Amino acid sequence: MNMQERINNNKILVSYPTVQIVAFIVTIGQKDQQKYRTIITGLLPEVLKQHTSNKEAIDFVLSRWNIVSNDDEIKTISRLLKSAIPLAENMFLIALLSGITLVGTGIVATMLIPNNLKDEPPQPPPEVAPDCLKQSRCISLVELAQLDNQYLNISKLTVKFRDKSMPDDRLSIRNQGINSGEVGINGQDVTYGGSVIGSFTGGDDTNPLIVSFNPNLTREVAQSVVRSITYENVSTNPTPITRTLDFKITDSNGAVNQPPFTTSIRIIPKKSVIVLNAPNAVTGKENSNLLLTGIRLIAPEPEQVNIILEVSHGTLTVKTDVTNGLIANQIIGNKTEKVTLTGTVAQINTTLAGTNALTYRPIKSFTGQDFLTVTGNIKNKKEKGLVWPPKAENTESTSKRISITVNPLNPPPVVTVPGNQIANENTELQISPIQIKDPNNQIIDVTLEVSKGTLTIKSDVPNGLLTNQIINNDNKNKITIKSSIIRINNTLAHPAGLIYKSNKKFTGEDNLTVTTKDGSNRVTANIGILVNDNPVISVPEYTIPSNSNSVSQPTPNIFTPPIQPQSQASDPTTNATIKGELGSGSKNIRSGLGTSYSKLDTVSIGDRIHVIRRGYDTEGYIWFQVSVPQSGVKGWIAGQFVEIDAGTQIAP
């Protein structure tokens, strides 16, 4: 940016302190210096603004003032302004030179200041009174006031209450700040753009606020002060009567604006909060009307009140013909999801207390949870003019939410079953109690089913199920019942009403599924069943050589290659037989070498098997890996239970 561009930009960036400096410079040696300095300070900002946008017009006006006017004061002002314009527009050059001078002076002064003065801490800036308008502690009385006066000698502003005022009332001047065009206060002084332009007294209790201006104050500055007058009431519950204030402007000759400008403030008393009484929850049925009762509000009787009723999954209908209640035009949005009631407290309470006055109907086929939200607020009447407190006309609302449960027309059955069960292998297990509830149906279908066992239902329980009501009740894995809930519950609550038995040789996990059906609804519950294998005690066979008294045991955990049959038995797929004493029970096929491993299958004495290879458990006992032709299971069995066919030898 070149120097000319800086000058052009500076023409519209002149600050108020710069205006004060320029006014001071151009009035040096002028008669009535303070008078003309104040006038130039007030006029120069606007003159500079207009000069920037239309230089020729301002130069013409100032020249005409100097030529045409017979008033020496106007001519002097014209001359001083013509000198002030170029000085103000080039002030940044002066500031630059002044800055260089100040820096040099500062360096010299620093060198000359004694050390004890250098060490003194800086003084804190003076406290500045806050802007009450920004803090919402006051209201502006005449923010758009226009002051018309052709003379430049305003001397005093008086603001006072006409008749009714209270000790808690306060009149003051808004403390905007010290920047250009801002009105401020410093103690009892009134400032404009940081310069003192007068002082003020009063404003507290019932005393009038009086602002005394310095001589020859301009109309623009006086107008800014008038616009900055504020009102505040320091009571938490001010007396609710209207305050009327008079504004009087006096010039140096004692002339007063007649009649005085007047404004009024309505004091609005603190509103009582509405209290809503309503039930917490109600219950209805699918596709059916639900009457809503027990809604009542408490608020000052003369007040007009708005009540909003709103749901999400239905519609609301309010009666319009309740005696002494609301009429149709006071009910907005009737028969929709959102209805607004407007009237007195008595009218609304009378309507809501009427017979069948408020009805909720869910949307078609809806079931589940909905909510009725009731919101109430006092309807404040808004009027033109000033009010106190600042936001007194804003409404405060309160709300209540009512839970609405919509149940289906045919609710599903409820099935209650015991916890998981443990059954022993090949042993009957009694399972009880199983209970069923259905509020809408007395006859119901029930299916009981397992996958690894059989079920039997007792058919002679008193008041229980009859034989013809139980289908497949002959040790099948699936039984169907069709009977009354009372008979079903009597049988399934009996300790021996339902018997489970696992399939032969099965151990592990099974599941009992209980399914109920009452038409369109189907509900399932499950009971886990763990079938435990029976414990087995086994004694290994030892071989004692004829020439030794010690027992010979092979080295543990050594596997040998698969056994190679040397001759064929009647079944070429087998090469060994399960042995043991008759009546000693079945033998277990396990997943590893030892009784700690899980059981895979069982074999009986005399069953044919195929030996694959041998091994030893951690204690040195021999085990054979075998395949069971009957089940196809492959696993390990203790060696003392296996008799290998003659001619079949174990490879070394």
Tokens of 9: 């930009």
Whether residue 118 is predicted with pLDDT greater than 60 in this model: the reply is no
Same domain, yes or no: 92 and 163:
no
- Listed residues 224, 245, 267: the one ending a domain: 267
CATH code where residue 347 lies: 2.60.40
Q: How far is CA 307 from CA 304, 340, 422, 457, 561, in A?
A: 10, 6, 61, 61, 92
Same domain, yes or no: 437 and 402:
no
pLDDT value for 584: 65
Same domain, yes or no: 256 and 350:
no
Same domain, yes or no: 433 and 518:
yes
Find the mean pLDDT for residues 426-439.
90
In 60-175, at which residue ranges do the beta strands (DSSP E only) sit?
139-140, 154-161, 169-173
Find the mean pLDDT for residues 48-69.
73
pLDDT value for 150: 59
Q: Which of 81-95, 229-243, 300-314, 356-370 has the highest mean pLDDT?
A: 356-370
User: In this structure, is residue 567 part of a structural domain?
Assistant: no
Question: Measuring CA to CA, which residue among 630, 528, 517 is closest to residue 578?
Answer: 630
Return the HEC string of 340-387: EEEEEHHHHHHHHCCCCCEEEEECCCCCEEEEEEEEEEECCCCCCCEE
pLDDT value for 564: 43
Least confident of 49-63, 338-352, 370-384, 493-507: 49-63
pLDDT value for 256: 81
Say if CB 138 and CB 232 are below 8 A apart: yes
Least confident of 37-46, 154-163, 453-462, 465-474: 37-46
Same domain, yes or no: 297 and 244:
no
Least confident of 35-39, 291-295, 354-358: 35-39
- Listed residues 96, 128, 148: the one ending a domain: 96
Q: Which of 90-104, 241-255, 627-641 has the highest mean pLDDT?
A: 627-641
Q: Which of 66-80, 254-268, 536-550, 631-645 has the highest mean pLDDT?
A: 631-645
pLDDT value for 70: 64
Same domain, yes or no: 456 and 354:
no
Same domain, yes or no: 92 and 145:
no
Other C-beta atoms within 10 Å of 418: how many? 12
pLDDT in tens, 389-405: 887 776 677 889 999 99
Radius of gyration of the chain (CA): 53
Question: Measuring CA to CA, which residue among 414, 418, 436 is closest to residue 488?
Answer: 436
Domains in the chain, number:
5
User: In this structure, is residue 598 part of a structural domain?
Assistant: yes
CATH code where residue 459 lies: 2.60.40.10
For residue 538, give the 3-state DSSP assignment.
coil
The percent of residues above 70 in pLDDT, for the chain, comes to 80
Find the mean pLDDT for residues 613-617.
87
Same domain, yes or no: 375 and 316:
yes
| Distance, C-alpha 110 to centroid of its chain | 60
User: In this structure, is residue 105 part of a structural domain?
Assistant: no
DSSP string spanning 459-514? Answer: S-STTS--GGGEESTTTBSEEEEEEEHHHHHHHHHSTTSEEEEEPTT--EEEEEEE
| pLDDT band for position 121 (cuts 50, 70, 90) | low
| pLDDT band for position 557 (cuts 50, 70, 90) | very low
Question: Measuring CA to CA, which residue among 180, 184, 154 is closest to residue 253?
Answer: 154
Question: Measuring CA to CA, which residue among 225, 256, 230 is closest to residue 243?
Answer: 230
* Residue-number span of the structural domain to which 16 is assigned: 3-96
User: In this structure, is residue 64 part of a structural domain?
Assistant: yes
DSSP 389: S
For residue 580, give the 3-state DSSP assignment.
coil
pLDDT value for 582: 60
Same domain, yes or no: 213 and 291:
no
The arrangement of strands across the sheet holding 304-310 comes to: 281-285, 397-407, 368-378, 304-310, 338-344, 331-332
Say if CB 451 and CB 503 are below 8 A apart: no
Tokens of 346: 């008595």
User: In this structure, is residue 131 part of a structural domain?
Assistant: no
User: In this structure, is residue 106 part of a structural domain?
Assistant: no
CA 245 – CA 377 distance, rounded (Å):
32
Other C-beta atoms within 10 Å of 85: how many? 21
Question: Tokens 């005690």 — which residue?
Answer: 537
Helices 33-53 and 219-227: crossing angle, nearest 10°? 80
| Distance, C-alpha 261 to centroid of its chain | 51
In total, the chain counts a number of residues equal to 652
Other C-beta atoms within 10 Å of 107: how many? 10
- Listed residues 267, 301, 335: the one ending a domain: 267
User: In this structure, is residue 557 part of a structural domain?
Assistant: no
Say if CB 320 and CB 331 are below 8 A apart: yes
The pTM for the full model equals 0.40
pLDDT value for 18: 75
Produce one character per residue of 177-194: b if its CB has 16 or more CB atoms within 10 Å, e if not. ebebebbbbeeeebbbbb
Say if CB 153 and CB 215 are below 8 A apart: yes
- The angle at the Cα of 536, spanning 590 to 422, to the nearest 5 degrees, equals 85
Whether residue 583 is predicted with pLDDT greater than 70 in this model: the reply is no
pLDDT value for 83: 84
User: In this structure, is residue 570 part of a structural domain?
Assistant: no
pLDDT value for 544: 44
pLDDT value for 75: 81
pLDDT value for 125: 54
Question: Measuring CA to CA, which residue among 137, 219, 217, 221 is closest to residue 172?
Answer: 137
Mean pLDDT of the chain: 81
Whether residue 137 is predicted with pLDDT greater than 90 in this model: the reply is no
Least confident of 21-25, 201-205, 366-370: 21-25
Find the mean pLDDT for residues 570-587.
75
- Give the β-pairing of 429-430 and 608-616: unpaired
Same domain, yes or no: 160 and 209:
yes
| Distance, C-alpha 20 to centroid of its chain | 55
Same domain, yes or no: 471 and 510:
yes
- Give the β-pairing of 453-457 and 275-277: unpaired
Find the mean pLDDT for residues 465-473.
87
Question: Omega before 269 cis (within 30°)?
Answer: no
pLDDT in tens, 519-544: 778 899 999 999 988 776 655 554 44
67 φψ region: left (φ > 0), alpha (ψ -120 to 50), beta (else) = alpha
Least confident of 171-185, 339-353, 371-385, 594-608: 371-385
Same domain, yes or no: 442 and 365:
no
Whether residue 316 is predicted with pLDDT greater than 50 in this model: the reply is yes
